[in-house]
Amino acid sequence: MFLDELTPVWKELSQQPVAFLGGFLSGLFRLNLSEDPVKSWLDQQSDSVYPSAMGTHNGNSGAPKSISID
């Protein structure tokens, strides 16, 4: 009965152990991800993991998009 409740935790831990432990520790220490020491570190990590996503702006990324609804 108790093991059935822990099955999703073990499944997530086995799929992505670093992300799981990082989220677990940030919750344990009650770190706010939008405050500066953690936010700047997360920004550096995302820049190194996804470098192509950061520099591909075509000049009108902030412009409103028009859509048509039928």
How does pLDDT run across 4-15, given as a tens digit for each residue? 888 888 887 788
What is the structure's pLDDT at 50? 56
Q: Which residue has the tokens 């670093």?
A: 18
3-state secondary structure 16-55: CHHHHHHHHHHHHCCCCCCCHHHHHHHHHHHHHHCHHHHC
pTM: 0.39
What is the structure's pLDDT at 13? 78
Give the list of residues 6+ apart from residue 61 with CB closer than 8 angstroms, or none: none
Contact 38, 23 (CB under 8 A): no
What is the structure's pLDDT at 58? 55
Q: Which tens digits make up the pLDDT trace of 12-67? A: 778 888 877 888 888 888 877 777 777 787 777 777 665 555 455 555 566 788 88
